[in-house]
Structure 1
């Protein structure tokens, strides 16, 4: 006989486990099904452990530049195994935290591989055993996985995906990073700071192509100054792994193909949604390029089947998945305060050195939308706190609607901008105008003063530059 619930969540990533918690808070008897580790890719193999690695490389960078701060450090070095061990401990601690949250909220955790067998029915394979579950509503939160090159599958030895890059057995000496989105640039930054010679290859005309063009240009110069080689409008035509490394055939913008050798390669060319073999086809759940189609509440075209997170449409970000989980759970519970999901105010962050953060429209997108804009910019070199920190490279850019004063977008590059961006996210959520931001008092000395100055700059009122 099947165990019966009000809601079953398939997948326990940042979307799935948050949906389960919110559903339980609203009084729904909830179960969550996970085939690997609670917390999903983000917590165990993505967002969190990569930040642990990047923190290590940041500290190592400061150690190797200690003289800039009047400090003396003799022969800085590192232990790769211990770096990886720390990252895995951080992930393990948070995995245990999610287990605690499930227990606290009385969410039943069912370990195993889940398949939707019919509306309201889900079977979980646990080795030789199968557990049957039933619920009126099922949320699919199965996430996504790294996309392989069709002609060169990642082997975990010389050709890596992000999962391999997080637990290296050896430090690359000459690293090829294929793809320059957030994942590619973050790993390029980590390994470069740890001493590897890094080449980044991007098919489009600039790195971090979803960001504002000026941010991409700044990052190209900054990473090049750090010693990286940035190759845009280029593609890897061939990638072969051998005992001593990988050989890559790189086709440039003019069609010329050059062959180069590297010790390792990281493939960071996007994701593939985990929609196969979970029962969606038989139910007739609609998808677009593999991603499940949903409305603003997470409903699919099949009654009782919902979907959230990376298995649905872009942007593919953990915080977007979590919010979708809350929205879906509230809709299922009939919560009167539920609001439809909006994707126009979701911040994006890249935790490289320097960091990148943004929200809303780029200047180009705002103009394409027919908006007449006012643009403000303020450099880190004009900020006392940034200079005191020794982090004077970067800038903040704000884009306003000239007619209404609406903050259309904000774009940042520099130290700690992934923390600063939330100020603009809140401003946009509250529909704050330029006048309200201008009259807001920012603490001194802080990096956040640059946010104020960027707004002032858009209206010809910058005070410190």
Structure 2
């Protein structure tokens, strides 16, 4: 007998899980199909294990900062094997709690790979059996996977993607990171703290190439002072395992001969690709664009009765964006909203030391929209909390158009603490007067945000 569900969800990551929970709590009959582990990439192979690494090693950065100002000395040793064991226990416990929550709400959790078998029919290929279910609405939240290109294919030996890197039993003494984006930089910082010598290689001319150029410059200065070898604007032709080493071949210019870099391991972190192939979605009228992103309209609909959220629709590859989109879809199914989806300003954060925070528009983006753009800044060196932690490098930068805040960018130690306040300010489009009339607590890092909002403005 085939069960008909009000909502079938493909994918148990942040978007799919949150949608299943919210829909079931509202009384809908829900099935959640997951081919691997609950929690998706974020919990199992991305955000959370990386933050566990960074959290466990942050004391090394703090001690180094206080040692530099001659008020502390000593040594901290991180037990990497114990850290990996704690990581694995934490992830397993979180997956168990998620499964229990689904059970409490009556969600049918179906392990296996889901594929469209007909109009409003889903086939779930499990390890032992195949099950068919009918649905009234379908939510696709299948996420993404690490990207790989010819010559840059992880082999699971010395050349790894982010999933393989996070599963290492021991940290290598030297590491080549191919890709200077957020994934590569976060993992490189953790590896550096754990004793690896870091080499960053990227085809772009600057680190964190999607961020404000001033941010890129600040990051490069910090990492070079830490002894990183940073190679930018180069073309990687191959990275392979050779014996007990990873060997990278690159071209620095069209005229120069190929150059080789050798390290104990290489991490390929050159972006992500959507998990949309072989789902049978095309039979429902779903269109795939670019590398396979599901094309959605203003209501996050990909076809009649089919919605797509999170990485797989390509709008914003962030866990909190997936969850926000999932909430909108469930609200729409419950007829609690009818307007088009509006994400509002989406905060993004690079974790580590320094951190990078951005919400809203950067100056270049605002200028591209044809507006007259002004910026204002404040340096962290004047902030009492930054001073207390001996971590005063960095700044906060505000982007203004038509007299209102359109974006906020910050780089420095712990700037992620300002994420919520910055997001609320950008969403409300504060004026300078509103910033002046708001009481910021003292002493906090948020006072640097206040200082940037009240600083003199200049042309971008």
| TM, length-normalised to structure 2 | 0.95
Which residue number in structure 2 is paired with residue 438 of structure 1?
436
Question: 1:76-91 alignment to 2 at 5 Å?
Answer: 76-91=76-91
Q: 1:180 to 1:406 in 2, by over 3 A?
A: same
Distance 2:103 2:377 in 1: 48
**SS of corresponding position for 1:15:** helix
Q: Does 1:130 align with 2:167?
A: no
Distance 1:241 1:82 in 2: 28
Q: Does 1:332 align with 2:336?
A: no
Question: 1:403-414 alignment to 2 at 5 Å?
Answer: 404-414=402-412
Unaligned 5+ segments in structure 2 are none
Distance 2:67 2:263 in 1: 32
Query: What's the CA shift for 1:433?
Result: 2.4
1:5-30 CA deviation, whole Å, 9 max, x = no partner? Answer: 10000101001011112212332111
Distance 1:64 1:459 in 2: 35
Q: Is contact 1:64-1:73 (8 Å) kept?
A: no
Of the candidates 288, 297, 300, which is equivalent to residue 298 of structure 1? Answer: 300
Distance 1:321 1:163 in 2: 20
Distance 2:89 2:435 in 1: 41
After the TM superposition, list the runs of 4 or more consecutive aligned residues in structure 1 that deviate by more than 4 angstroms. 63-66
Q: Is contact 1:6-1:28 (8 Å) kept?
A: yes
Distance 2:339 2:53 in 1: 36
Q: 1:26 to 1:193 in 2, by over 3 A?
A: same
Q: 1:89 to 1:59 in 2, by over 3 A?
A: farther
Which residue number in structure 1 is paired with residue 314 of structure 2?
313
**SS of corresponding position for 2:171:** coil
Distance 2:342 2:252 in 1: 38
Distance 1:384 1:151 in 2: 49
Q: Is contact 1:30-1:107 (8 Å) kept?
A: yes
1:269-325 CA deviation, whole Å, 9 max, x = no partner? Answer: 11111111111133331011110000132211x211111111112321111111111
Which residue number in structure 2 is paired with residue 346 of structure 1?
346
Count of residue pairs the alignment pairs up? 455
Distance 2:278 2:139 in 1: 16
Distance 2:357 2:93 in 1: 27
Q: 1:240 to 1:410 in 2, by over 3 A?
A: same
Question: 1:269-284 alignment to 2 at 5 Å?
Answer: 269-284=270-285
Q: Is contact 1:52-1:90 (8 Å) kept?
A: no
Q: 1:66 to 1:432 in 2, by over 3 A?
A: closer
| TM, length-normalised to structure 1 | 0.94
Query: What's the CA shift for 1:60?
Result: 2.9
Q: Is contact 1:12-1:40 (8 Å) kept?
A: yes
1:208-255 CA deviation, whole Å, 9 max, x = no partner? Answer: 111111111111111111111221111211212122111111112565
Which residue number in structure 2 is paired with residue 264 of structure 1?
265
Q: Does 1:248 align with 2:258?
A: no
Distance 1:86 1:255 in 2: 49
CA RMSD in angstroms comes to 1.8
Which residue number in structure 2 is paired with residue 429 of structure 1?
427
Distance 1:295 1:35 in 2: 26
Q: 1:56 to 1:255 in 2, by over 3 A?
A: farther
Q: Is contact 1:149-1:267 (8 Å) kept?
A: no
Query: What's the CA shift for 1:409?
Result: 0.8
Which residue number in structure 1 is paired with residue 153 of structure 2?
153
Which residue number in structure 1 is paired with residue 391 of structure 2?
391
Distance 1:131 1:41 in 2: 25
Distance 1:387 1:427 in 2: 25
Q: Is contact 1:8-1:30 (8 Å) kept?
A: yes
Residues 94-103 or 326-335, more deviating: 94-103
Question: 1:46-125 alignment to 2 at 5 Å?
Answer: 46-63=46-63, 67-68=67-68, 70-74=71-75, 76-125=76-125
Q: Is contact 1:119-1:283 (8 Å) kept?
A: yes
Q: Is contact 1:405-1:435 (8 Å) kept?
A: no
Query: What's the CA shift for 1:160?
Result: 0.8
**SS of corresponding position for 2:14:** coil
Question: 1:443-454 alignment to 2 at 5 Å?
Answer: 443-454=441-452
Q: Is contact 1:50-1:87 (8 Å) kept?
A: no
Distance 1:268 1:343 in 2: 27
Q: 1:59 to 1:254 in 2, by over 3 A?
A: farther
Query: What's the CA shift for 1:63?
Result: 4.5
Query: What's the CA shift for 1:345?
Result: 0.8
Query: What's the CA shift for 1:64?
Result: 5.4
Distance 2:237 2:115 in 1: 37
Distance 1:431 1:118 in 2: 47
Distance 1:236 1:288 in 2: 26
Unaligned 5+ segments in structure 1 are 461-465
